[in-house]
Chains A and B, each alone.
Chain A
Amino acid sequence: MVAMSTNGQCGATTAKGSPCRGRSVADTGYCRRHQPPAEEAAEPRSTGSTRGERSLREEVEDLLKRAVDRLPIGRLFPALSPGRVVETFRAGIEKVAPKAREELLRSARNFLIRQATWLATDTWKGAWTFLSGVADQYRGMLQRRARGDYEVDAYGMDEEFTDWIRPAFRFLYRFYWRVDTTGVQNVPGQGRGLIVANHSGVLPWDGAMIMTGIWEEHAEPRYVRTLYLDWFTQIPWVSQMLTRTGQILAHPENGERLLNEDRLVAVFPEGLKGVGKLFRDRYKLARFGRGGFARMAIRTGAPIIPTAVVGAEEIHPTFRRLHLVEKAFNMPIVPLTPTFPWLGVFGFIPLPSKWKIHFCDPVPTNRYRPEDADNFLVVSKVANQVRDSIQKKIHELLKERKGVFW
């Protein structure tokens, strides 16, 4: 009945009547599609004769023996040698009621045939080789880094480290906040550029997502150097992490230096006022600092790319701020959110809102002279233009959005 094919081809015929061209799965003589369950079903189930059962049992024992034989565990543990395993199996099957026995044997047989790949030693050998190779590579990397053999750029950015942790940010970008990024063509692929975005959500996740967005979606992926608040430099590990991933302290001198080196810089002119916004004030832009970003762009002639981020306001909805605690512990923000401080450290987990990021048309600044940077009228004109375009785009994106979490 079992038409064993000799050349590794499937032995069944298709519905059209031609021989199946699929490759047979190990030892069955049939391809994945024409597996024996169909054949079993064809056998009259009611018969259940002792002869059928016996042959079935022999087949299962044979398969079991071969499967165990292929695994090297028998050499290590005598109790798991093929002979002993089959004995155990035989003893066990005797205890099963005769009615259930055939059903059990049949499923055992199907399991052994179907899972032949997983029971094969080569599969595990291959997986082991692969995993130990990866582990070796990481161990080598960690050992090398422990010797101090890694490179940082002029601002302390460690590209190897950044690339290493990028998958975590990619996960947040793709699956956690499901960020929709549009207008990424407005970000220059080369040369200087200043991304100016609204700031929200207590912790600066929006900066991380803008950085990931440009890396993931842009035709010419590049690093974004975000200018961060000086408060973060005082926090252990946070300051270290920010420096290693290429973020830089927000200081006019730093910004101008970066832009003059033709880099892509991101700033959040709202600063603390943006991230510390209450939930009822969401998506209302705060004051844009003192226009320092515009001064920076005019002085270096860098185009400003106004950027609207929608969704970050809801990751940590702040109902209230504890001003007294902030003052007592010299913390910039201590918010009350649905999760913080009630859930302790779990309160730091942001909510999975749906995000949209849009990079608006660039505002050119090269028609001004560098001296205009000291003219407050020009600076404030540019700053207001940028602020208005961000606020307008935020409203548009909010209208497009169906709900907070989808």
Chain B
Amino acid sequence: MRGVYLVTGIGGDLARTFAARLWSLAGTKKVLGLAGPTGDRPAPKKVQVAEIDPRDPALVEFLEENKVDTVVHLDFLEEYRHQEEVFDRNVMGMLNVSAAAAESGARKLVLASSTWVYGAVYDNPNYLTEARPLRGRPHLSHMKERAEVERYAKEFVATHPRLVTTILRFAPILGPSIDSPLSRYLGLPNPPAAMGFDPLLQLLHEEDAVEALIAACRADVRGAVNVAADGIIPLLKLLRKAGRPYLPVFHPIANLATKLAPGFAAFRQMPIDVEYLRFPCVADTRRMKEELKLTPRLGLAEIVDDWTKKRLGLVGAPSGPAEVEELQEVEEDDWW
């Protein structure tokens, strides 16, 4: 039945904002949520959270019972080191959710991924289209799992033509309330930068990431779509703009440190592979504009500004869902 949505990973920052925002779509009848990836947060308003694990095969019956039309899978944990449980959630969860969506007769499946799956490789063209092979050879486990999920997704899209599957490849997301690998990197006391390299980066504001998910629910686009704000920013410019004192490190040393020696404080919490500090991984967003019909509202300057303000504590307690709830109450009541 049209207008029934299931959002997995409702404990995540993006998923909570998105689930609340789904009610602004015309024809929304019901928004269901699945707990995860970390389940100790209260459910957003007007979202019915079901006590079912995304890895449970009984998910098919749940989808059929509720006549779910669109499944949005956002259950993904970004951990640096391999943990069996996280892998299970990230990869096996995606396999089960996609299989259940196909089996239950849902119409649409939306998956979230990252443009970093293309990999930062020395001979990357300046703009990577969706058709480019995914060549990343990541060391960090969340990037490995993203790549694996993408491999399965590609297979899945080919074998299930009836189900409209959209894979949104987000550029590194920054924003006042979201926790992403890039924001963790920028938040390090001295973010390490590869000496003599200044790769070009793309960014995406969390609001626009939510808009992209909404647009994917609205328009039927098959396959992968890159989502990024307009323009590129060199890494060093980003670090300077954000006011972060960076630490230039000779890249073989940085590589060695991330791989072998977790004793280096600068690298123990390094959320980005060193390759991404050396080579560009910039996605072509033509498909986003033409097929998804999405134009990101916030530019690079605003994204960096928002993040910096939050870091300096210039904006109030950053919690997206709470604010969204208040906002909705205001909308419902006659606020004038």
Q: Are B122 and A236 in contact (CB under 8 A)?
A: no
Q: Which label, helix, strand, loop or mixed, suits the secondary structure of the B interface?
A: loop
How far is B278's CA from A239's CA once the two chains are assembled, in angstroms? 9
Q: Are A257 and B127 in contact (CB under 8 A)?
A: yes
Q: Are B127 and A243 in contact (CB under 8 A)?
A: no
Q: Are A148 and B125 in contact (CB under 8 A)?
A: no
Q: How far is the CB of A50 from chain B (nearest CB, A)?
A: 73
Q: Are A234 and B200 in contact (CB under 8 A)?
A: no
A148-B237, A150-B237 known; A233+B196 contact, CB < 8 A: no
Interface size class of A (residues with CB under 8 A): 20 to 34
Q: How far is the CB of A363 from chain B (nearest CB, A)?
A: 25
A234-B122, A236-B194, A236-B197 known; A152+B127 contact, CB < 8 A: no
How far is B123's CA from A253's CA once the two chains are assembled, in angstroms? 12
A148-B237, A152-B232, A152-B234 known; A233+B198 contact, CB < 8 A: no
| Closest Cβ neighbor of A230 among chain B residues | B123
Q: Are A251 and B125 in contact (CB under 8 A)?
A: yes
Q: How far is the CB of A261 from chain B (nearest CB, A)?
A: 11
Name the one of A147, A234, A237, A253 contacting B127, with C-beta atoms under 8 angstroms.
A253
Q: How far is the CB of B281 from chain A (nearest CB, A)?
A: 12
A152-B234, A253-B127, A254-B125 known; A239+B196 contact, CB < 8 A: yes
Cβ of A347 under 8 Å from chain B: no
| Closest Cβ neighbor of A146 among chain B residues | B240
A147-B240, A152-B237, A243-B198 known; A233+B126 contact, CB < 8 A: no
What residues of B have a CB within 8 angstroms of the CB of A148 in the complex?
Answer: 236-242
| Chain B positions 219 through 259: 1 when the CB is less than 8 Å from some CB of chain A, otherwise 0 | 00000000000011110111111100000001100000000
Q: Are B195 and A230 in contact (CB under 8 A)?
A: no
| Closest Cβ neighbor of B241 among chain A residues | A148
| Chain A positions 97 through 115: 1 when the CB is less than 8 Å from some CB of chain B, otherwise 0 | 0000000000000000000
Q: Are A155 and B126 in contact (CB under 8 A)?
A: yes
Residues of A239-255 at the interface with B, using a CB-CB cut-off of 8 Å, are: 239-240, 243-244, 248-249, 251, 253-254
Cβ of B18 under 8 Å from chain A: no
A156-B200, A240-B196 known; A233+B238 contact, CB < 8 A: no
| Closest Cβ neighbor of A235 among chain B residues | B196
A147-B241, A148-B241 known; A240+B197 contact, CB < 8 A: yes
Residues of A134-165 at the interface with B, using a CB-CB cut-off of 8 Å, are: 145-150, 152, 154-156
| Closest Cβ neighbor of B194 among chain A residues | A236
Q: Are A156 and B196 in contact (CB under 8 A)?
A: no
Q: Number of B interface residues, CB 8 Å? A: 29
Name the one of B129, B197, B238 contacting A239, with C-beta atoms under 8 angstroms.
B197
| Closest Cβ neighbor of A158 among chain B residues | B234
| Chain A positions 7 through 19: 1 when the CB is less than 8 Å from some CB of chain B, otherwise 0 | 0000000000000
Q: Are A257 and B126 in contact (CB under 8 A)?
A: yes
Cβ of B170 under 8 Å from chain A: no
How far is B126's CA from A149's CA once the two chains are assembled, in angstroms? 23
How far is B234's CA from A234's CA once the two chains are assembled, in angstroms? 16
Q: Are B234 and A156 in contact (CB under 8 A)?
A: yes
A154-B231, A156-B232, A240-B196 known; A248+B126 contact, CB < 8 A: yes
Cβ of B116 under 8 Å from chain A: no
Q: How far is the CB of A145 from chain B (nearest CB, A)?
A: 8
| Closest Cβ neighbor of A229 among chain B residues | B123
Name the one of B127, B233, B237, B279 contacting A233, with C-beta atoms under 8 angstroms.
B279
How far is B238's CA from A234's CA once the two chains are assembled, in angstroms? 21
Q: Are B240 and A236 in contact (CB under 8 A)?
A: no
How far is B124's CA from A230's CA once the two chains are assembled, in angstroms? 9
| Closest Cβ neighbor of B240 among chain A residues | A148
Q: Are B197 and A249 in contact (CB under 8 A)?
A: no
What residues of B have a CB within 8 angstroms of the CB of A233 in the complex?
Answer: 122-123, 279
Q: How far is the CB of A289 from chain B (nearest CB, A)?
A: 15
Residues of A210-236 at the interface with B, using a CB-CB cut-off of 8 Å, are: 230, 233-236
Residues of B120-153 at the interface with A, using a CB-CB cut-off of 8 Å, are: 122-127, 129
What residues of B have a CB within 8 angstroms of the CB of A230 in the complex?
Answer: 122-123
Q: How far is the CB of A39 from chain B (nearest CB, A)?
A: 65
What residues of A have a CB within 8 angstroms of the CB of B239 in the complex?
Answer: 148
Q: Are A249 and B198 in contact (CB under 8 A)?
A: no
How far is B333's CA from A27's CA once the two chains are assembled, in angstroms? 90
How far is B194's CA from A147's CA once the two chains are assembled, in angstroms? 19
Can you list 5 residue pairs at the A/B interface with Cβ under 8 Å?
A146-B240, A148-B237, A238-B196, A251-B126, A257-B127
* New A-B pairs, 11, CB < 8 Å, besides A148-B241, A154-B126: A148-B240, A152-B237, A154-B231, A234-B122, A235-B196, A236-B195, A236-B251, A240-B197, A249-B126, A253-B125, A257-B127
Q: 3 tightest CB-CB pairs across the interface, nearest first?
A: A236-B196, A148-B240, A148-B241
